[in-house]
Structure 1
Amino acid sequence: MQMLARLFCFGAAFLTAPLAAQPPAPGPTQPKEAAPPSREPNRSVTRHSGTFGGQRVAYTAIAGETFLRAEDGTPRAAIFSTTYLKEPRDPNRPITFLFNGGPGSGSVWLHMGAFGPKRVAIPSDARDDSGPPYPIEDNPDALLDVTDLVFIDPVGTGFSHALGKTESKEFWGVTKDAESVAQFIRLWLNEHGRWNSPKYLGGESYGTTRTAAVVNQLEGAYNDVALNGLILISTVLDFAAGADTPGNELSPMLNLPSMAVTALFHGKAQAASPEAFAEEARQFALGPYATALLKGQRLGREDRARIRRELARFTGLSETYLEQANLRVEPARFYKELLRDRGLTVGRLDSRYTGRDYDAAGETPDNDPSFYGIDAGYTAAINAHLRGPLGFKSDRSYVTIGNVQPWDWQLPGGRDANAYLNLTPYIGKAMRENSGLRVFVGQGYYDFATPFFAAEYALTRTGVPQERVEYKYYGSGHMMYVRDDDRTALSRDVRAFIRGR
């Protein structure tokens, strides 16, 4: 799953080595801005209407900055967000705070792809988004009929940036980032008088990691902000289990169901349906395959041959290749090997996508076709939307994917907590201490960045109340909303989750 030291949500580079990967190339150089006390946050307020979930909604859009300040009042950072408020306003209406992941990704993807009132219409069938102009359309699947929306860009993403003498790296880390987002949420609640509103918090990819860390900041103190629900889309919480490193036997087990449905999609395996094949692969991974992996070199010859045959059936790879890989196929190798006979690679974020490398001889792909197949359309759309109908003016570049290195992955708790990096306990603790907190988990079958079986593994550990965790699955990948049917289904499922409180 290549979970450490790499981008999760829409990585700008196709990375293959867990700890030696190079960070993506920096985006456009941004001016370092002093923040004199007289400077006010840059904001634009506009009014609109649209039809969402079958209801006509009038709404106000607020695109702009909120200053995070030091104790002496000095601005430390400008957090950019886009707020959509239904009119007339209701202080008891649900409010949902959303962000994407990375770390280093702006909220453009959920904003312009899934839940915002406008969306960019890129191809729904895993084809490249090609060149502009890209259609920017009304989004009937937006959630404004059931909740107000706030899309948040953490420091180093979107238009958000450090101010004055503050260094951006002061916000770049699992806990540092969560502290700043939690501070923003408290300030937003103050400004808009929404402390008693039902509250939902959610993200995609590393945004689910951020969700766990932020809920710990919001509910983990006496002056807590209680939440009604967490919305986890393409979930990554247990980084240790998913680390593709020698000796970690959980990673090949957790990746196997994703390999199986991908092989089926591309005609390299046979099964009645993706759902049935995924379940069969789960059971094999939890049973015979887990036993074989844990036995290591004590695995007998006959058992090894039996496991190898089953792996070939699930993965679509040859027994010869699986033997050479010692029954453990890293995802990056799978992307290259599965369709090598056709001269194609498959995507990491969405393995329905295929690409063609410089040659077919390599061990891993040159790049991820499921990222370069969508990125141009989203970049154009967010800039056109914010600088156009929403009226936000800035000389800064909107950072869709930023280079937020070095990222501090350390958690409080010392050696043992950081030897096994896992944020699921934050969610479990919040649920145990808040009987009204529920969790929605949305996963794409064809997602290798945050595989669905890894999400299930993390959230079925001890301490997480299972009766308040809801899973939904979609026939696409990491950004399931790029597929029209899945976007509508995701919207319907999240809408029902919010109404279900």
Structure 2
Amino acid sequence: MNRTILAAVAALSFAPPVLAQDKPPEQAAKIDDYQPLSASRQFTGVFGGQRVAYTATIEEQILKDDKGHPKAAIVTTSYVANPRDPARPVTFLFNGGPGSASLWLQMGAFGPKRVAIPSDARDDGAPPYPILDNPDALLDVTDLVFIDPVGTGFSKVIGETDPKDYWGVTKDARSVALVIRQWLSANGRWNSPKFLGGESYGTTRSAAVVRELEGSYNDVALNGVILISTVLDFGAGAETEGAELGYITTLPSMAVTALYHGKASSVSPEAFAEEARQFAIGPYAAFLLKGQRAGAEERAAVRRELARFTGLSEDYLDRADLRVTSGRFYKELLRDRGLTVGRLDSRYTGRDYDNAGETPDNDPSFYGIDGGYTAAANAYFRETIGFSPERQYVTIGGVRDWDWRLEGGRDTNAYLNVTPFLGKALRENSGMRIFVGQGWYDFATPFFAAEYALTRTGIPQDRIVYSYYDSGHMMYVRDQDRSKLSADVRAFIRGR
């Protein structure tokens, strides 16, 4: 290879990376001239027994850097009653993941249209899936804005922006808070009553967004936060060697699941859940904290009660050292029937490739609903409202390499817990309240773990409302619980 070629190769090898601001002027201008997409339609529906005329708008909210260059397009879907009334509450909602779009809450619970899937924990099968009017939507009491963070739904980065700039607890919260501020400004709603709500990781996001909205003097004060299937304290449910708290917080979920499937007996899920709570924080917690110092008599007594609550044999519990992870429970509870139970909703059952494994092949409570929601969301957004960009709608899973770090130092990041953000907001905003909705049969975000997180020191208890449902993580897939959830949240908003 001659010197000229070597020099050319070296120049290529050590060339600095091309950044967005280094782009040719015509390409940079093209990015700066990015025109946000939007679609809007007028509708009328009956919600909460009231006829409401409303405007449905899907639009890209553009986030820019400090030099004014577009960085990301975050898509919001808003439903605003006509005529527009700044005195009406507005509620901002999102799902979780991280990496999930808002179609679940939007087309399952609170939006004006919903997808009809089986209500009794059966698989949703194949299309067509009915898209129905949703009388349980909240438009009679609040305007609604559903937010899809970067990498979910139709939301995306622009140009050479790295999506990881938005993928993290704090980074994500800042982008969502900015979208909320922009929407309030564009729609003249700064003095409206405001509610924030999320499901699953969306509850984590809610706490982080509360800090971004209320953590400075440039506040967006909130009237309420709606937590559905709550996960705030990640240490409370961590299943890792040496961590004992997760066994305590998941035991009541195991108990009600065993009861549902006929492996335990009690008068009701509520009664059995309370009995399991008391055993979990009493004799079981004491036993776990003693570790290998626990005596044989105590071990036998705990094993006997643990078998009664979980529906698992004492022999199996002994082999598991009286510490059964959730994955093992899904596989073991109904092994004698050749079935597994779901993680998101343990009412669902599945059948694995064989019956010999330790954990399930998949979650029947997720593959039992995903087809219906995906088809319905695409059909509704693209065909009914007319928002149909040339990119795929990402329901869940489009986000990778999430940055779980919080600002606050080593100890903060060793124990990931965003509950203190809510505690601080409650202490400093006397008008803010919290609604907590939990399904009995939810292992993704167990109800006892949510209760544990929200009863720690520094969190005012008199402004937290709890509601429980006879279903799982997405309680609204059960018709009766969708109506109950709607009524509970409606009462919460009216109670401001």
**TM class by smaller structure:** over 0.9
- Of all paired residues, the percent bearing the same amino acid is 73
Aligned equivalent of 2:170, options 147, 172, 175: 175
Q: Distance in 1 between matches of 2:423 and 2:483?
A: 29
TM superposition score normalised by structure 1:
0.93
Residue in 2 aligned with 1:408?
Answer: 403
Amino acid at match of 2:63: L
Q: Deviations over 1:190-214 (max 9, x none)?
A: 1000000000001000000000000
> Could you say which structure has the larger radius of gyration?
2
Tell me, what secondary structure is at the counterpart of 1:56? strand
Task: Work out whether 1:336 is the aligned partner of 2:331.
Answer: yes
Contact 2:48 2:140 in 1 (8 A): yes
Amino acid at match of 1:218: L
Task: Work out whether 1:455 is the aligned partner of 2:450.
Answer: yes
RMSD: 1.1
Q: Distance in 2 between matches of 1:81 and 1:290?
A: 45
Contact 2:34 2:70 in 1 (8 A): no
Amino acid at match of 1:372: Y
Aligned equivalent of 1:446, options 400, 425, 441: 441
Residue in 2 aligned with 1:248?
Answer: 243
Residue in 2 aligned with 1:46?
Answer: 41
Residue in 1 aligned with 2:224?
Answer: 229
Contact 1:34 1:165 in 2 (8 A): no
Query: Aligned runs of 1:5-84 on 2, under 5 Å?
Result: 36-84=31-79
Q: Deviations over 1:57-82 (max 9, x none)?
A: 00001112010011111110000110
Residue in 2 aligned with 1:351?
Answer: 346
Deviating 4+ runs (over 4 angstroms): none
Residue in 1 aligned with 2:471?
Answer: 476
Q: Distance in 1 between matches of 2:400 and 2:53?
A: 41
Tell me, what secondary structure is at the counterpart of 1:276? helix
Q: Distance in 2 between matches of 1:451 and 1:149?
A: 27
Residue in 2 aligned with 1:94?
Answer: 89
Task: Work out whether 1:375 is the aligned partner of 2:355.
Answer: no
Q: Deviations over 1:356-407 (max 9, x none)?
A: 0000000000000000000000000110110112111211111001331110
Residue in 2 aligned with 1:6?
Answer: none
Amino acid at match of 1:365: P
Residue in 1 aligned with 2:271?
Answer: 276
Aligned equivalent of 2:392, options 392, 397, 414: 397
Aligned length in residues: 470
Taking a change above 3 Å as real, the CA distance of residues 35 and 316 of structure 1, as seen in their structure-2 partners, is: farther
Per chain length, whose mean CA-contact separation is higher, i.e. which structure has more relative contact order (CA < 8 Å, sep 6+)?
1
Once the 2 structures are TM-superposed, how far is the Cα of residue 298 of structure 1 from its aligned partner? 1.0
Residue in 2 aligned with 1:112?
Answer: 107
Contact 2:103 2:373 in 1 (8 A): yes
Q: Which moved more, 1:35-44 or 1:404-413?
A: 35-44
Tell me, what secondary structure is at the counterpart of 2:385? coil
Q: Distance in 1 between matches of 2:50 and 2:342?
A: 37
Contact 1:95 1:147 in 2 (8 A): yes
Tell me, what secondary structure is at the counterpart of 1:149? strand
Amino acid at match of 1:484: D
Tell me, what secondary structure is at the counterpart of 2:297? helix
Task: Work out whether 1:306 is the aligned partner of 2:301.
Answer: yes
Contact 1:115 1:141 in 2 (8 A): yes
Q: Deviations over 1:134-164 (max 9, x none)?
A: 0000000000000000000000000000111
Once the 2 structures are TM-superposed, how far is the Cα of residue 34 of structure 1 from its aligned partner? 9.6
Residue in 1 aligned with 2:379?
Answer: 384
Q: Distance in 1 between matches of 2:154 and 2:358?
A: 38
Unaligned runs of 5+ in 1: 1-32
Tell me, what secondary structure is at the counterpart of 2:189? coil
Query: Aligned runs of 1:143-222 on 2, under 5 Å?
Result: 143-222=138-217
Q: Distance in 2 between matches of 1:173 and 1:485?
A: 35
Taking a change above 3 Å as real, the CA distance of residues 223 and 88 of structure 1, as seen in their structure-2 partners, is: same
Amino acid at match of 1:445: W
TM superposition score normalised by structure 2:
0.94
Task: Work out whether 1:436 is the aligned partner of 2:431.
Answer: yes
Residue in 2 aligned with 1:267?
Answer: 262
Amino acid at match of 1:173: G
Contact 2:31 2:158 in 1 (8 A): no
Taking a change above 3 Å as real, the CA distance of residues 360 and 347 of structure 1, as seen in their structure-2 partners, is: same
Taking a change above 3 Å as real, the CA distance of residues 35 and 232 of structure 1, as seen in their structure-2 partners, is: farther
Tell me, what secondary structure is at the counterpart of 1:467? coil
Amino acid at match of 2:82: E
Contact 1:141 1:487 in 2 (8 A): yes
Q: Distance in 2 between matches of 1:201 and 1:172?
A: 20
Contact 1:34 1:163 in 2 (8 A): no
Q: Deviations over 1:335-355 (max 9, x none)?
A: 000000000000000000000
Amino acid at match of 1:459: L
Q: Distance in 2 between matches of 1:226 and 1:73?
A: 27
Residue in 2 aligned with 1:142?
Answer: 137
Amino acid at match of 1:364: T
Contact 1:35 1:75 in 2 (8 A): no
Q: Deviations over 1:416-440 (max 9, x none)?
A: 1011110000000011000001000
Amino acid at match of 1:122: I
Q: Deviations over 1:425-484 (max 9, x none)?
A: 000001100000100000000000000000000000001100000000000000000000
Once the 2 structures are TM-superposed, how far is the Cα of residue 229 of structure 1 from its aligned partner? 0.2
Q: Distance in 1 between matches of 2:58 and 2:346?
A: 34
Q: Distance in 1 between matches of 2:342 and 2:29?
A: 42
Contact 2:207 2:422 in 1 (8 A): yes
Contact 1:233 1:442 in 2 (8 A): yes
| Higher helix residue share | 2
Tell me, what secondary structure is at the counterpart of 2:75? strand
Q: Deviations over 1:151-185 (max 9, x none)?
A: 00000000000111211010000000000000000
Once the 2 structures are TM-superposed, how far is the Cα of residue 35 of structure 1 from its aligned partner? 5.7
Q: Distance in 1 between matches of 2:410 and 2:150?
A: 28
Once the 2 structures are TM-superposed, how far is the Cα of residue 36 of structure 1 from its aligned partner? 2.3
